[in-house]
Structure 1
């Protein structure tokens, strides 16, 4: 590079020369130091190779505008933030059970290279949501969902995953805080041994493996239940008109071999109560009922299931004071964690409009 180019050199939108007095410069350079366990010479070499790779492969602002197959957006997307404010990225491999999409994406070397460039573009877009200033969020969480991963095309998927992993650990140091692999089939653990040969020791420590029974519990360590999507055992629903992530969930612990209840009291009639419930690991019995304050009124059974296994959203119009009572029976030998939230909405009964 000529002296003029060096004076203006940047990485992820941050000037690298201290003379520019940018607040994020030290934080970006620190990532390279941390990745190389504070070896200055190795960190400098890594930074040089990163800048050369970006120049030779045209990894600049222009990559953000490149167009790719719109269906790929279903295989990798950003959704919410973790408990520390980091963006959460989801990679969903089950989409490739569609053989036509799999062939269209990985059928030739050219298509595989194009997919890899799309992954690089996605990383560059995700970095736009980070801040390298003091106190800013400068890394992300990556959740890799292997549910329904097809056996056909696994050779290509493994090859692409290996290349992506190598690129990210070499040219995007410390950008990914944790890689959390969920719903991994048994055969994945064998391939993981092969992957480990291409990972640095530090990169390997960033991987967390969680098979299906432990997936929700593992994810909740990093992501609050109101921000975790319902398909992973959380309470977050797409285009939710009733709750937002700011509607915090309460936690209720259920001891082993016990029946536990929570109550939502309603003192004013003429409202609709809406509630969300999820139980980590489920395998519990579940009942909902409305119990009026007036002993002369009848209890109303809203739901009664011997065994539940997914997040629940329900609502009920209240025309007299009472309470919603949710009863959960834990017949297992392990304690359960239950998360729930509720709200009331003033409602005009439909029969008024029908008069």
Structure 2
């Protein structure tokens, strides 16, 4: 695959780029007496110059969702209404795929494995569209099997042999082009890339709350087998379409597992099918996952995780990251830029940009921390006539938002674009707007957080030409 993902580049600099000033006002004094507000509130101002887009302002805080320590059992979690998340193993760091970066014993193991495969007709095949022998991409394939077996050559050879047999029995070559329908398209889908360029796959277990869909997938063994074939087909196509199998390319996928509204342990057939799929993937798709991020994790998943963890290797479990509902967006943003995260998960990305065709996943976002009882004002100074378009959201809202344009001319009139509005979690997740700038001035976007919760502002804007 020739094309590789890279961080999106900003557009060509605008002749007169706007400057952005972010002003933070501490409103905590209002909790004492309203009369003291004017004299005691504190303001912090930061100014940056942009080229039509925005420099990223990141909140310097540790995302703790993936490091929470288990302190009680799942049953006590249910009683106290507090979810305890399993403590992560040592966090996995993806190794280099360059042969020159391997240790001497690892290089020797790779060569030994090649020698064992060479000359045997049963290994003169292709796997994931890559010849198993005598191809520039072969080393990447073989390293996946070696790493899955701790560079034990005989164990890696056995795994390759078993995988080839399973692929033949499962008729993978025919499966690639088989029409299995689109019933499960919302259950599993690819969307965007993470901060390191890995494609991201979302697994949405809550879709199985739909009884009709659950019946189609798990009502009998034949349908369960068809669902597993669909899942394997999806993975095969994703591997061929998104991975490069090159030393400097992207060779793994980041998996996001969403448990929001998941049916839970009561759905026995789903539980069984999940275990079957896990075993198939671990046995036949080694080292294809860079990270497993579990979001909106409910308390009952602890019991399920305890049940399936013995079937997983230590290396597999080291790739796991867990986050409860309140920490899910921040955890995703730790690994995936907000412009690449779907709207339903707290980001600004939509599949086809129907809501705002001016923006796409390649348009970067500015992130600003919003402290409790504070007000942030984003001031964009505009130096020419134009059309400015912007998007803004605060994950979970519970804030007030307003926008206005103030001309620089002393006799100019302030234009209220959107009056101060209380935004609730049930409102539209993203505010999209535009304004025709006929005279020089400043656009003000104001967000007031009256809650005791830390929040995060995401916004981006574009300058477009405008003529009378």
Same fold (TM over 0.5): yes
> Where does residue 353 of structure 1 map in the other structure?
none
Matches for 1:126-165 after TM superposition, within 5 Å: 126-128=238-240, 129-151=242-264, 154-165=267-278
Q: Is the 8 A contact 2:243 2:251 kept in 1?
A: yes
> Where does residue 279 of structure 1 map in the other structure?
394
Matched, 1:67 2:176: no
> Where does residue 202 of structure 2 map in the other structure?
90
C-alpha displacement at 1:236, in angstroms? 0.9
Give distance in 2, aligned partners of 1:277 and 1:329.
Answer: 13
Give distance in 2, aligned partners of 1:246 and 1:2.
Answer: 44
Give distance in 1, aligned partners of 2:432 and 2:260.
Answer: 24
Give distance in 2, aligned partners of 1:290 and 1:71.
Answer: 47
Larger mean Cα displacement after TM superposition, 79-88 or 151-160: 151-160
> Where does residue 312 of structure 1 map in the other structure?
431
Give distance in 2, aligned partners of 1:325 and 1:298.
Answer: 11
Identify which of 207, 211, 223 aligns with 1:111. Answer: 223
How many residues end up aligned between the 2 structures? 344
C-alpha displacement at 1:69, in angstroms? 2.9
Matches for 1:1-355 after TM superposition, within 5 Å: 5-6=121-122, 8-17=124-133, 20=134, 22-60=135-173, 62-128=174-240, 129-151=242-264, 154-240=267-353, 241-269=357-385, 271-280=386-395, 282-296=397-411, 297-309=413-425, 310-332=429-451, 335-347=454-466
C-alpha displacement at 1:333, in angstroms? 5.2
Give 5+ residue unaligned stretches, structure 2.
1-116
Q: Deviations over 1:195-234 (max 9, x none)?
A: 2122222111222221111111111112111111111111
SS of the residue 2:212 aligns to: helix
Give distance in 1, aligned partners of 2:288 and 2:264.
Answer: 30
Q: Is the 8 A contact 1:216 1:281 kept in 2?
A: no
Instruction: Compare relative contact order (CA 8 Å, sep 6+) and give the higher one, 1 or 2.
Output: 2
Q: Is the 8 A contact 2:398 2:422 kept in 1?
A: no
Q: Is the 8 A contact 1:290 1:302 kept in 2?
A: no
C-alpha displacement at 1:109, in angstroms? 0.6
C-alpha displacement at 1:153, in angstroms? 6.7
Give distance in 2, aligned partners of 1:30 and 1:234.
Answer: 35
Q: Is the 8 A contact 2:372 2:451 kept in 1?
A: yes
Q: Is the 8 A contact 1:217 1:280 kept in 2?
A: no
Give distance in 2, aligned partners of 1:200 and 1:50.
Answer: 17
Give 5+ residue unaligned stretches, structure 1.
350-355
C-alpha displacement at 1:332, in angstroms? 4.8
Give distance in 1, aligned partners of 2:369 and 2:188.
Answer: 34
C-alpha displacement at 1:285, in angstroms? 3.3
TM-score (norm. length: structure 2) = 0.68
Higher strand share: 1
Aligned in 2, Cα 1:79/1:303: closer, same or farther, shift over 3 Å? farther
Aligned-CA RMSD value: 2.4
Give distance in 2, aligned partners of 1:332 and 1:244.
Answer: 31
SS of the residue 1:65 aligns to: coil
Larger mean Cα displacement after TM superposition, 123-132 or 28-37: 28-37
Aligned in 2, Cα 1:194/1:13: closer, same or farther, shift over 3 Å? same
